[in-house]
C-alpha cells in the first residue's frame, strides 16, 4: 500500500522524568500572495495589548514582572524559571524584545500564529476555563476540527502549553512570558482528548489557518506509522496530503514551523521536503541535543526543549551521564483538571522547541527587519544565518544551522559607511 494512502497516526509524545509514553496521535499584518479563490487572503484584525502590558523603551532590555508561578505576584520570577529565554543556552529573548519594540513590533504585535494542536484554553465554556496567562484580546477566531465546531477548547493541555510558550502575556504579574507576548494566537484543534489525530485533519487545518489570516503556523506534532508498540517515526511531510497543504501555505506566504519529533531518530527529518517547513530539534539547558530529539539531514534549527543530553560525539556541551537539565515551564492544566491552571513540570521535547522558533518568527515579522512581506524561504534563511552554531562547526544533522537566536534575528544590519 502506498504511504500516502495509509492512515498514519499523528502522535504527541509527552516525555517526563517519571512518565514516558506515546499518545497516538502553530508587523503589522503581512500581505500574502493570492492563491486562488479557495485560499483568498484574509485581513488580519489589529492586535490589542492586554491590560498591564507596557514597553520599556528606555531600558537596555525589557524586564517583565511575571512571577514564574501560577499565582499573582510582581516578583519577576520568570527569569529564574525560564532558562530557555535568558540562560547561557537560551534564545536571548529579553534583548530581542527591546529591539523589536524600538522597531515598532513590540512583542510580535500584529502577527497571528495558528497553533494546530489539542486546542487552547482560550475561553470559559462548560467545564473549561481560559488560561489566566492568555489574554482574550489576543485570541483570533479558530476552529475545532475534531468535534467540527467553532469552539477549539483544549481537552488535553498540550496545546495550551504550546500557546503559552509562544504568547503568554507579559508584565501581568503572573506565570511565564511568551516569546512573542503580544502576538495573536489562533487556536485550531486537530488532536482529541488523548492526543490522537490524522494527517487529513492536519491538511484541512493548515488550509483553514491560511484562509483565516495566519502569518505563522506551529505544528508541534509528529507522524507515526506501524504497530502501536513499535511505531516508526516520520516527519509530518510523510503524508502527501500534508505536503500539499504545506506547499499551499508556503505559496501563500505563511511561515510553518514544525517539531522534528521525539524518537531520537538520526534520519528524521529527511532532506527531500525540508523547504516546506522550518524543522526544529530540541536542545537542553547545557546546549546539547536532547536525548529525545530526532535529528537528520532536513533539520533546520534547534531550540530549547529541555531534558537530558544526547551522546553527541565530539560535543563538549553534552553530558549524557550527568544530571539532566531543566525542562520547559509554562502555564497549562492537566487533562483530568481542565479548570486548574499551574506551571506544569516535566515538559520536554521538540513540541516545546518548535513554539520558541514560531515566537521568534513573529518577532522578526513584527519588527519588519526583512521588510513588509518576506517570503517564508527568506525568513527561514534569515533565522539560519543568525543562529548560534552548536556541535561541529557549520551546519550539521545534529543541530541544523544551530540554536535560534532571537536577539540576532531582530537586530538590524549595521549601517554601511561610504568610503572616500
CATH number at residue 136: 3.40.50.200
Catalytic residue among 351, 356, 398, 405: 351
Q: Are 245 and 207 in contact (CB under 8 A)?
A: yes
**Residue 356 annotated as catalytic:** no
158 is catalytic: yes
Query: How long, in residues, is the chain?
Result: 420
Answer for the pair 166, 180: CB distance below 8 angstroms, yes or no: yes
Q: Once rounded to an integer, what is the mean pLDDT over residues 119-132?
A: 94
How deeply is 138 buried, as exposed, middle or buried, from its count of CB atoms within 10 A (0-12, 13-18, 19+)?
buried
Asked whether residue 414 is assigned to any structural domain, the reply reads: no
> Does residue 173 lie within any of the structural domains?
yes
Mean pLDDT to the nearest integer, 160-186: 97
Query: How do residues 312-344 score in pLDDT, each as one tens digit?
Result: 999 999 999 999 999 999 999 999 999 999 997
Alpha-carbon span 298 to 291, nearest angstrom: 18
CA angle 22/391/290 to nearest 5° reads: 15
How many structural domains is the chain composed of?
Answer: 1
Mean pLDDT, the chain, whole residue set: 85
378, pLDDT greater than 70? yes
- The verdict on residue 342 lying in a domain is yes
Q: What is d(CA 125, CA 52) in angstroms, rounded to the nearest whole number?
A: 25
Does residue 4 lie within any of the structural domains? Answer: no
Based on DSSP, count helices (H) and strands (E) in the chain, helices before strands. 9, 13
More confident residue, 180 or 6: 180
Percent share of the chain, pLDDT over 90: 75
Q: Is 78 helix (H, G, I), strand (E, B) or coil?
A: helix
Which residue of the set 66, 118, 131, 158 is catalytic?
A: 158
List phi, psi (to 5°) of 412: -80, 150
Give a yes or no: residue 207 inside a domain: yes
Q: How far is CA 204 from CA 38, 198, 199, 211, 251, in A?
A: 12, 10, 9, 11, 16
The verdict on residue 416 lying in a domain is no
Q: Tell me if 329 is assigned to some domain.
A: yes
The answer to the question of residue 420 being in a domain is: no
Q: Do residues 116 and 217 touch, judged by C-beta distance below 8 A?
A: yes
Q: Give Cα 338 distance to the centre of its chain.
A: 22
Contacts for 195-198: CB closer than 8 Å, 24+ residues apart: 195/11, 195/12, 195/14, 195/23, 195/24, 195/25, 195/118, 195/156, 195/158, 196/9, 196/10, 196/23, 196/24, 196/25, 197/9, 197/10, 197/25, 197/146, 197/221, 198/7, 198/8, 198/9, 198/10
pTM score of the predicted model: 0.86
pLDDT of residue 414: 63
pLDDT of residue 347: 83
> Which one, of 22, 108, 140, lies nearest residue 363 by Cα?
108
4-18, 73-87, 112-126, 283-297: segment of lowest average pLDDT: 4-18
**Residues 245-268: pLDDT tens digits?**
999 999 999 999 999 999 999 999
Pull the grid cell for residue 276.
516546506
Confidence of residue 41 (pLDDT cuts 50, 70, 90): very low
Please state, as a whole number, how many other Cβ atoms lie within 10 Å of the Cβ of residue 359. Answer: 33
> 113 has which bridge partners?
185, 216
The SS3 assignment for 207 reads helix
What pLDDT, on a 0 to 100 scale, did the predictor assign at position 9? Answer: 44
Structural domain that includes position 105: 9-409
Confidence of residue 235 (pLDDT cuts 50, 70, 90): confident
Enter the DSSP assignment of 46. Answer: P
* Per-residue model confidence (pLDDT) at position 115: 98
46 CB-contact burial (10 Å; exposed 0-12 / middle 13-18 / buried 19+) = exposed
Q: Please, are residues 98 and 181 in contact by the beta-carbon 8 Å criterion? A: no
Catalytic annotation present for 351: yes
What count of other Cβ atoms lies within 10 Å of the Cβ of residue 3? Answer: 11
> Of the residues 117, 215, 265, 291, which is catalytic?
117
Question: Is 121 in contact with 131 (CB distance < 8 Å)?
Answer: yes
What does the DSSP 8-state code read for residue 419? P
Amino acid at each position: 500500500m502506498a504511504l500516502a494512502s495509509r492512515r498514519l497516526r499523528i502522535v504527541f509524545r509527552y516525555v517526563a522524568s517519571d512518565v514516558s509514553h506515546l499518545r497516538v496521535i502553530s508587523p503589522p499584518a503581512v500581505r500574502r500572495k493570492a492563491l486562488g479563490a479557495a485560499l483568498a487572503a484574509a485581513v488580519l484584525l489589529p492586535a490589542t495589548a492586554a491590560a498591564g502590558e507596557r514597553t520599556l523603551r528606555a531600558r537596555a532590555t525589557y524586564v517583565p514582572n511575571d512571577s514564574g508561578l501560577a499565582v499573582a505576584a510582581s516578583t519577576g520570577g520568570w527569569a529564574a524559571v525560564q532558562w530557555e529565554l535568558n540562560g547561557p543556552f537560551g534564545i536571548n529573548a529579553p534583548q530581542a524584545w527591546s529591539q523589536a519594540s524600538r522597531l515598532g513590533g513590540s512583542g510580535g504585535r500584529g502577527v497571528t500564529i495558528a497553533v494546530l494542536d489539542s486546542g487552547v484554553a482560550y475561553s470559559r465554556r462548560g467545564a473549561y476555563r481560559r488560561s489566566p496567562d492568555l489574554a482574550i484580546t489576543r485570541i483570533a477566531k479558530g476552529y475545532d476540527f475534531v468535534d467540527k465546531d467553532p469552539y477549539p477548547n483544549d481537552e488535553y493541555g498540550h496545546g495550551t502549553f504550546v500557546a503559552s510558550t509562544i504568547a503568554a502575556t507579559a508584565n501581568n504579574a503572573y506565570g511565564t512570558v511568551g516569546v512573542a507576548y503580544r502576538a495573536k494566537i489562533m487556536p485550531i484543534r486537530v488532536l482529541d482528548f488523548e492526543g490522537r489525530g490524522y494527517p487529513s485533519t492536519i491538511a484541512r487545518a493548515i488550509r483553514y489557518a491560511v484562509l483565516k489570516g495566519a502569518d505563522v503556523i506551529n505544528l508541534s506534532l509528529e507522524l507515526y506509522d506501524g504497530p502501536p508498540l513499535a511505531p516508526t517515526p516520520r516527519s509530518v511531510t510523510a503524508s502527501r496530503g500534508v505536503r500539499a497543504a504545506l506547499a499551499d501555505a508556503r505559496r501563500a506566504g505563511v511561515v510553518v514551523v514544525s517539531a522534528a519529533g521525539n524518537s531520537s531518530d538520526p534520519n528524521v527529518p529527511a532532506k527531500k521536503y525540508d523547504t516546506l517547513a522550518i524543522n526544529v530539534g530540541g536542545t537542553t539547558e547545557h546546549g546539547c541535543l536532547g536525548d529525545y530529539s530526532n535529528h537528520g539531514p532536513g533539520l533546520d534549527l534547534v531550540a530549547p526543549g529541555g531534558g537530558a543530553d544526547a551522546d553527541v560525539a565530539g560535543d563538549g556541551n553534552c553530558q549524557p551521564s550527568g544530571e539532566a537539565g531543566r525542562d520547559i515551564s509554562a502555564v497549562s492544566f492537566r487533562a483530568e483538571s481542565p479548570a486548574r491552571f499551574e506551571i506544569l513540570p516535566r515538559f520536554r521535547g521538540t513540541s516545546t522547541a518548535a513554539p520558541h522558533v514560531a515566537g521568534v518568527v513573529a518577532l522578526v515579522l513584527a519588527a519588519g527587519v526583512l521588510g513588509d512581506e518576506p517570503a517564508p524561504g527568506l525568513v527561514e534563511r534569515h533565522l539560519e544565518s543568525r543562529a548560534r552554531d552548536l556541535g561541529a562547526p557549520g551546519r550539521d544533522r545534529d543541530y541544523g544551522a544551530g540554536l535560534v537566536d532571537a536577539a540576532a534575528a531582530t537586530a538590524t544590519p549595521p549601517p554601511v559607511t561610504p568610503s572616500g
